[in-house]
Chain A
Amino acid sequence: EDKVVQSPLSLVVHEGDTVTLNCSYEVTNFRSLLWYKQEKKAPTFLFMLTSSGIEKKSGRLSSILDKKELFSILNITATQTGDSAIYLCAGYNAGNMLTFGGGTRLMVKP
């Protein structure tokens, strides 16, 4: 059974701080690792990572995958209150199935 574990469960920081969110996975026939941001409604897609060691970047967010150690991190620099959300990572297998982690709830205080 595929398994994805995220840490920490929740995090409170102040604006301007840098945060690192962790995601470890055990996914049979692994295809890719995905990160989503969820505010009040449905998750919105952030990154898809398929190759080890290649950083993906979008503004202040970046993510990298380590396929040897089976984990990924999501970094957010210079955090803003609008970054407050639940961040979900998910492992995607060759059967087109996603297994989600429990999420990290990030709160950014002004």
Chain B
Amino acid sequence: DVKVTQSSRYLVKRTGEKVFLECVQDMDHENMFWYRQDPGLGLRLIYFSYDVKMKEKGDIPEGYSVSREKKERFSLILESASTNQTSMYLCASSLGGGAGGNTIYFGEGSWLTVV
């Protein structure tokens, strides 16, 4: 089975702290994504990456950065956490080029609270 692992499930951070959310997938997928999910807003794409060291901004990149040094690992970074970044963060991965939607796999989510 494909596995997408988010190492931190529940985090509480203070305003201004730097936050790292890690995501690892074990199926050699080219594409990796970071979403945040808020009530009534669904999943919104923050950043995605289609190859090592490649990244593209999604719909809401402000206040976030990402790192993809290895194919299996995609990290989301909050340089200076703010309370409006309290949310659930979902990592996902998929095969590259021509793959159908049912090959997108999600991690279990990281619940971040910024106080």
A32 touching B41 by the CB < 8 A rule?
A: no
- Complex CA–CA separation, A102 to B38 (angstroms): 9
Question: In the bound complex, do residue A9 and residue B40 qualify as a contact, i.e. CB atoms below 8 Å apart?
Answer: yes
| Chain B proximity of A45: nearest CB distance (Å) | 5
- With a cutoff of 8 Å between Cβ atoms, the chain B residues found around residue A103 in the complex are 40, 42
Query: Cβ of B107: which chain A residues have Cβ within 8 Å of it?
Result: 42
Given contacts A34-B102, A48-B102, A98-B101, contact A41 B108 (CB under 8 A): yes
Q: Is B45's CB under 8 angstroms from A34's CB?
A: no
- In the complex, what's the smallest C-beta–C-beta distance from A16 to chain B, in angstroms? 28
Interchain Cβ contacts under 8 Å between A and B, 11 examples:
A1-B59, A42-B107, A42-B108, A45-B104, A48-B100, A92-B100, A96-B50, A96-B94, A96-B97, A98-B45, A100-B44
Contact with A along B18-39 (1 / 0, CB 8 A): 0000000000000101010000
Cβ contact within 8 Å between B102 and A45? yes
Chain B interface residue count: which class? 20 to 34
Most chain A beta-carbon contacts within 10 A, residue among B40, B45, B97, B104: B104
Inter-chain contact A42/B102, CB cutoff 8 Å: no
Residues of A near any B CB (own CB < 8 A): 1, 4, 6, 9, 31-32, 34, 41-43, 45, 48, 88, 90, 92, 96-103
Point out the residues of chain A lying under 8 angstroms from B31, CB to CB.
96
Please encode chain B, from 73 to 110, with 1 for each CB lying within 8 Å of some chain A CB and 0 for all others. 00000000000000000100010110111101011110
A48 touches B101 (CB 8 A): yes
Q: Which residues on A sit within 8 Å (CB–CB) of B101?
A: 31-32, 34, 45, 48, 90, 92, 98
Task: Specify which chain A residues have a CB less than 8 angstroms from the CB of B59 in the assembled complex.
Answer: 1
